Structure 1
Amino acid sequence: MKSLLCLLLVFSTGAFAAEENQFKPLKDVRSQMTFKPLSDEDKELIISYTRTLFSKVYVNLEHKMSIYPTNPLADLKIIEDRYHEMDEVEFHQRMLAIYTSVRDFHVNYNLPKPYACYSSLTGFSLQKMKANKIIVTSVNLNLKNLSPDLQKLTPGDELVSYQNTSPLSYIKSRSAAVGASTPDAVIVQGVFDLYFRSHYGSILQKDNEITASFKRPNGEEYSIVAPWIARFNPDCLKEKTEEKVQSGKTDENLREVKLKERKKFFLNWKNKFITFFKNKLPLVKKKFLNSETSLVDLSAPHTTKHPNLFWKVIPYQGQNFGYLKLDSFDAPEGTNAAVAEVKKVLTQNLADTSALVIDLRGNYGGQISFAEKMAALFGAMPVKSIPFYVRANDFMSFMFKDDPSWLKLMIPQGNNNTLVGPGNLTTLTDLSRVSQSYFGKVVLLTNSECFSSCDLFSAVMKDYARVKIYGTDHSTFGGGANVWATGYMKPAFESIDMPVPPQNISMRVTARHAHRLADNSLIEDRGVATDVILDEETDDLLTQNSTVVAKIYNDFLKDPTLKKSSDTFVEFEQKSFQVHGDNLVNLIASVGNIDYISVFKNKKFVQRFEKDEEDKIAITLNSKNTPYGTESVEIYGFDRDSSTRLPVLRTSLLLETLPEFKKLQDLNVIGDVITTTYPKNADCGWQKSANALLLEGYCPETSTEATLSIELPQTETILSFDLIMDTEPDYDFFEIVAIVNGVETQLMEPVSQPQNESFRISLGAFAGKNIDLKFKVISDEAFSGKGGSISNIQIQ
């Protein structure tokens, strides 16, 4: 048996043979891992950058100081008084301590290359399971010449001591250096720290080796001495990650990048181990399996165009359940492409499943807009943009000088450095274009590695009551925020005469932090709480059989509203319907094992409908939506023969109301077919008068719009009108947009200064199409000034 296990471990790492120039004992390369000299001017510049970042940009400073024993600016003053006495190692170490002291994974001080291109590893990986038990999950025996004791290790063995103390005590002693905040995240990141350290953001450890004791499943204990092995990544010197992060095109930071790199590095070992373990050694496999525990096979999921998205339909006790795995919210082809790929999987591959598990374990985040838009795929009502807050000061005003939506929040506060908000990173218009694409029951599966955008997605799904959250930890990581790098802020630093930091040293801090939609509470340091905590068994970590997902599926089966079999159904030809004209929609449903259905709209009972002799149910619904509005329709199916009076099935529909497009030649007075909307006060905002729109001098509104829905001829047409605007400059904005098939095109740049002129705008690009023309006015708090008007509206 031992020889089989050794064979297994060699097989598991065959594709990752150690190259001499990449893997060496740490003690042999210490002399090479040095920093280039820093002049006093260099150190002063790094200190100035750090002072600006923490005093002007870092949005979490006061919050962190209130819950942790940290005062970054005071610690920085100590360095400022003594930096001329410090060598490079001490200086960098003290700077790192400032950035990690706030326990914010979005806050980084990244060391210069080539030092940053090194990492230290032990040759094996570990993972936390239930009751904070830590076990070996993979071993790279290709490193046995550098670390002979690796041959003693077997996946599944429990770590019982580390550096002559308990693993949890050691982890606790390094919690500040690890930088995580929530208790579970501290342990999980601390476990990584036991076997892998990236020197992008950590000074070389003093120890050349670790001593550890392990216990096998049969109770046998043994000890090992494992040298730290240094790995140099030559590609690091050519990496463009720095430019990508600094460009502002991604919401992740380099710590996230390195966490993902570390995870991928060791996951390769684990996956090779699992494949061989599962398919080639069934006798060894029995060593780990608990015959009393239900298992779900998660092996061989289907891949997609998105590199981190996987799916599988899993038959389980007579049901077909869905499984969706998302490893990150990165969007390499853009947010819209990523959302479209998720939607495609939901509508084409998982539509017929009874319920769905979205597995987010180990998802370290990515694009915030991807997370927000993906949440919109799982509910009938559109989601709101996540509220973010930011500091108001001259430095930040410079950063937002081309973003009026944020600038208008900051200008009234001047340079007082208070937090202002809420503002949004994704517009409501963008979110409204994403509609519900899955209509079954949905749950999330999370852990304390769900970070950043993953925190945000979990929060939105929870706040809209769309999911129950199952997790292997008490909460997600707790870091919903938008991070900025010094490179991204380069223009602002140049405006205060600060050149770029020396040696390509970069720093990052949280510039905008997110609050919950439900209660406006901060996500940082809290995360999103787990509703049902599930313990991971050895199977979950060492095989592709999941006890955790099986437990969730068992809970699904207890749900009386879940479709019980393929013979019980309510089927419509489609899942969403467009309502035109008279706002009436007629639906025909085919049913099985259903005698009648009850219809609820927006959680209110509408009507009961009985089936006919042909097992059909005819439904007529009236929609009171404004154009492009949506309504959720819940369908509950009942079986009279059921022993309970509970519904035996639940499904959902989405009603979307479209405007009635008038032909241009049928229009007499354009003003007669313009619709106006104002979210709060129906007594002010745009008022119609023949071919004109009037705006009051003062209106306690934040937005108003007038919409003209028409069918344009095949020939080119011109929109003409006279505009008079005398509202408050820089606070009230007027614009015109065109919407065709849900795609918005700006026809006129937003104007804010007083206007009194005529406009002619070509609509030739929309010839022969149904088009919505929207005349918008947006304000900070209320429209003020003398008001305005749009008159002589014509399309010719």
Structure 2
Amino acid sequence: MADYKLDNVVASMGLTEEQKKQIIEHSIKEEREEIVNQALSFIENIYVHLPLKRARNAIDPVQRLKLLKYRLVKMNELNFQREMIGIFTELRDLHTVYVPPMPYQSINFVLPFIIEEFYENNQRYYVVSHVNEDFEHESLEKGVIVTHWNGVPIERAIELNGLRTYVSNENARRIHGLNTLTLRSGSKYLVPDEEWLYISYITKNHEHYEHRFQWQTWNLPETQAQTNNQSFANLKAYGSLGVDFEAAKLQKIKKGLFASAAKQDNQTFYETDFQWSICSTSHGEFSYMRIHSFMIYDRQKFIQDLIRVLEQLPRDGLIIDVRGNSGGYIEAGEMILQLFTANKIQPELFQFINTPTTLKLAPEPWKSSIERSINTGAVYSSGYPIGRHSYYIDEVNQYGQKYFGPVILITDALCYSTTDIFAAGFQDNNIGPILGTSESTGAGGANVWEYYDLFHPNGYSPLPRNAQIRMAVKRAIRVGNQNGYPLEDFGVIPDYIHNMTFNDVLNGNVDLIEKAASILATMKGLHHLPLEVF
């Protein structure tokens, strides 16, 4: 895919077809070399998880990029983009991705329904949970059980699709593999391999059907897609990012496709950063709060809004639900923790990898630590809170406890990055138990920087045709009883597990909330005492 501007210039030069071809091929080769060279430089000199990924995944992305440079001219555009994405996919890191140029960034591929998993008698099944309101079919509707995908048993199809994602954690890989069966980003998949799909399913009347689907495109305007890639450029103004960008984008698309149908079923896709309600259960009434995102630009206002709600809630117990929260600003996630405990919050710590490049990029106090590594030979810098200024510890404790009842946190494998860090802080600071619908969170333990954040102040040139690279630059390590343990690849292990039921998926998480309430009921009267009393 040559640059159309270059095509126009070459066409006006009066050259032979062979000369035109040589000029265009030379330009494409230069563009690709620039992309490969920058990816090579960043992974080799900045990527904080490189030692971990090499060891756990038995890969060598540096050598693979070096070999790619010798094959650039012979590759067509699609194969080059696939190879770049493949190299980054092997890292198994949702923070560290290659985003191909336009038009891939703006194109997404969708089917008119969503599939979710549930359990019955310890057996996992897959149900259509939402259907687009414009899709009409005599048998495929909300509640049908999907059994096969293109003739492949659905469980195996999800497993294979999960291998194509960036996800490292096995639990998260299955959930991402499930989500991307019906909703795919052009930034990751470029174009679907399948021209059409056959879905086999069982209706509520136990009738077996098969239906053929074709992918539909859901396009973001190019200006919006490009803006999204640079919308967080000025990190100093808002804070440090820890987020799965693709999941955040797909959530917006999902909301656009299914919000109306969900409202008809008394379900909601989020409209605000958090929602709250009072839930009646067999164990009594408990408060419920859903935090959908930590992409909060004004964290002080957000926390003050939270405080106003918390001070009105009954103190019998609070359920905090962060399932599906793909992250946001790390400071926002850590500052919320203080509201639920009398204990002084200790934030998670962050480290750079020690290289000459990070020595140039890192601010204090990390810079001094990296300088010392010349003599010590340490792989990583010392760990410091993400808010590196001296008063950050005071900031994450400035409001103190505002909710004085027992608290439980609900997580899943889609909790990523800042939400991983929030869950780790919840556990490391002994705020309360964690109830998981997966065996761990998404295992994204890092502060992510965009290529724009690196080239804009540090003399790098923009990548050709607005291609992008995102990179995990500082890794998160835990505190408290898990002191020094990395979050990346491991995530946060919940104290309790709840397997989602058919009733949960189709009727507003009723069994999940009942399970959380049963745990809270055993905690009544305990949470008012400081931790050291136990």
TM range (shorter): 0.7 to 0.9
**Does the aligned pair in 2 maintain the 1:399–1:492 contact within 8 Å?**
no
Instruction: Mark the CA change 1:356 to 1:516 in structure 2 (over 3 Å): closer, same or farther.
Output: same
Instruction: Mark the CA change 1:503 to 1:437 in structure 2 (over 3 Å): closer, same or farther.
Output: same
The one of 408, 412, 421 equivalent to 2:372 is: 412
Task: Give the structure 2 partner of residue 102 of structure 1.
Answer: 91
Task: Give the structure 2 partner of residue 501 of structure 1.
Answer: 463
The one of 239, 250, 256 equivalent to 2:244 is: 256
Q: Which amino acid aligns with 1:465?
A: N
Task: Give the structure 1 partner of residue 352 of structure 2.
Answer: 390
Q: Which is strand-richer, 1 or 2?
A: 1
- More contact order relative to length (CA 8 Å, sep ≥ 6): 2
Note the C-alpha offset of 1:340: 1.9
Q: Does 1:511 align with 2:480?
A: no
Q: Does 1:136 align with 2:133?
A: no
Instruction: Mark the CA change 1:277 to 1:313 in structure 2 (over 3 Å): closer, same or farther.
Output: closer
| Count of residues in correspondence between the two structures | 498
Task: Give the structure 1 partner of residue 67 of structure 2.
Answer: 78
**Does the aligned pair in 2 maintain the 1:125–1:139 contact within 8 Å?**
yes
Q: Does 1:440 align with 2:369?
A: no
Q: Which moved more, 1:385-394 or 1:58-67?
A: 385-394
Separation in 1 of the partners of 2:264 and 2:447?
41
**Does the aligned pair in 1 maintain the 2:437–2:500 contact within 8 Å?**
yes
Separation in 1 of the partners of 2:336 and 2:488?
21
Identity %: 22
Q: Does 1:533 align with 2:497?
A: yes
**Does the aligned pair in 2 maintain the 1:383–1:432 contact within 8 Å?**
yes
The one of 312, 337, 345 equivalent to 2:309 is: 345
Q: Which moved more, 1:93-102 or 1:318-327?
A: 318-327
**Does the aligned pair in 2 maintain the 1:311–1:324 contact within 8 Å?**
yes
Q: Does 1:320 align with 2:309?
A: no
Note the C-alpha offset of 1:460: 0.8
Q: Which amino acid aligns with 1:370?
A: A
Task: Give the structure 1 partner of residue 12 of structure 2.
Answer: none
Q: Deviations over 1:439-471 (max 9, x none)?
A: 110000111111111101110111122111111
Separation in 2 of the partners of 1:317 and 1:186?
34
Instruction: Describe how 1:53-72 pairs up with structure 2 within 5 A.
Output: 53-72=42-61
Separation in 2 of the partners of 1:425 and 1:264?
28
Q: Which amino acid aligns with 1:264?
A: K
Cα RMSD between the aligned structures?
2.6
Q: Which moved more, 1:536-545 or 1:42-51?
A: 536-545
Q: Does 1:185 align with 2:169?
A: no
Q: Where does structure 1 lack aligned partners over 5 or more consecutive residues?
A: 1-35, 145-149, 279-298, 564-574, 576-599, 605-633, 635-796
Instruction: Describe how 1:706-745 pairs up with structure 2 within 5 A.
Output: none
Instruction: Describe how 1:764-783 pairs up with structure 2 within 5 A.
Output: none
Q: Deviations over 1:321-364 (max 9, x none)?
A: 111110011113x22222222222112x21x3300000111111
Separation in 2 of the partners of 1:107 and 1:365?
15
Separation in 1 of the partners of 2:306 and 2:279?
18
Separation in 2 of the partners of 1:374 and 1:357?
14
Separation in 2 of the partners of 1:50 and 1:380?
45
Task: Give the structure 2 partner of residue 276 of structure 1.
Answer: 264
Q: Does 1:227 align with 2:192?
A: no
The one of 374, 382, 388 equivalent to 1:421 is: 382
Instruction: Mark the CA change 1:359 to 1:166 in structure 2 (over 3 Å): closer, same or farther.
Output: same
Q: Where does structure 2 lack aligned partners over 5 or more consecutive residues?
A: 1-23
Note the C-alpha offset of 1:234: 2.3
Corresponding residue SS for 1:354: coil
Instruction: Mark the CA change 1:472 to 1:318 in structure 2 (over 3 Å): closer, same or farther.
Output: closer
Q: Does 1:207 align with 2:194?
A: yes
Separation in 2 of the partners of 1:261 and 1:53?
24
Instruction: Describe how 1:283-294 pairs up with structure 2 within 5 A.
Output: none
Corresponding residue SS for 1:549: helix
Task: Give the structure 2 partner of residue 366 of structure 1.
Answer: 328
Q: Which amino acid aligns with 1:189?
A: H
**Does the aligned pair in 2 maintain the 1:101–1:176 contact within 8 Å?**
no
Task: Give the structure 2 partner of residue 124 of structure 1.
Answer: 113
Instruction: Describe how 1:537-686 pairs up with structure 2 within 5 A.
Output: 537-544=501-508, 546-559=510-523, 561=525, 603-604=532-533
Task: Give the structure 1 partner of residue 8 of structure 2.
Answer: none
Corresponding residue SS for 1:528: coil
TM-score, normalised by the number of residues in structure 2: 0.87
Q: Deviations over 1:286-310 (max 9, x none)?
A: xxxxxxxxxxxxx789x9xx92111
**Does the aligned pair in 2 maintain the 1:476–1:529 contact within 8 Å?**
yes
Corresponding residue SS for 1:273: helix
Q: Which amino acid aligns with 1:531?
A: D
Note the C-alpha offset of 1:87: 1.6
**Does the aligned pair in 2 maintain the 1:56–1:417 contact within 8 Å?**
no
Separation in 1 of the partners of 2:225 and 2:171?
35
Instruction: Mark the CA change 1:196 to 1:103 in structure 2 (over 3 Å): closer, same or farther.
Output: same
Q: Deviations over 1:691-716 (max 9, x none)?
A: xxxxxxxxxxxxxxxxxxxxxxxxxx
Separation in 2 of the partners of 1:51 and 1:492?
20
Separation in 2 of the partners of 1:124 and 1:451?
24
Q: Which amino acid aligns with 2:152?
A: T
Separation in 1 of the partners of 2:156 and 2:340?
42
Task: Give the structure 2 partner of residue 750 of structure 1.
Answer: none
**Does the aligned pair in 1 maintain the 2:283–2:521 contact within 8 Å?**
no
Instruction: Mark the CA change 1:492 to 1:413 in structure 2 (over 3 Å): closer, same or farther.
Output: farther
Q: Which amino acid aligns with 1:404?
A: E
**Does the aligned pair in 1 maintain the 2:315–2:406 contact within 8 Å?**
no
Instruction: Mark the CA change 1:182 to 1:601 in structure 2 (over 3 Å): closer, same or farther.
Output: closer
TM-score, normalised by the number of residues in structure 1: 0.59
Corresponding residue SS for 1:536: coil
Separation in 2 of the partners of 1:237 and 1:455?
28
Task: Give the structure 2 partner of residue 157 of structure 1.
Answer: 144
Note the C-alpha offset of 1:261: 3.0
| Structure (1 or 2) with the larger CA radius of gyration | 1
Separation in 2 of the partners of 1:250 and 1:95?
30
Q: Deviations over 1:400-422 (max 9, x none)?
A: 2xx32221111112497821121
Q: Which amino acid aligns with 1:373?
A: M
Corresponding residue SS for 1:391: coil
Instruction: Mark the CA change 1:601 to 1:108 in structure 2 (over 3 Å): closer, same or farther.
Output: closer
Q: Which amino acid aligns with 1:178?
A: T
Q: Which is helix-richer, 1 or 2?
A: 2
Task: Give the structure 2 partner of residue 456 of structure 1.
Answer: 421
**Does the aligned pair in 2 maintain the 1:320–1:353 contact within 8 Å?**
no
Instruction: Mark the CA change 1:71 to 1:141 in structure 2 (over 3 Å): closer, same or farther.
Output: same
Separation in 2 of the partners of 1:111 and 1:318?
51
Note the C-alpha offset of 1:83: 1.4
Separation in 2 of the partners of 1:424 and 1:414?
23
**Does the aligned pair in 2 maintain the 1:117–1:233 contact within 8 Å?**
yes
**Does the aligned pair in 2 maintain the 1:394–1:414 contact within 8 Å?**
no
**Does the aligned pair in 1 maintain the 2:244–2:417 contact within 8 Å?**
no
**Does the aligned pair in 2 maintain the 1:270–1:542 contact within 8 Å?**
no
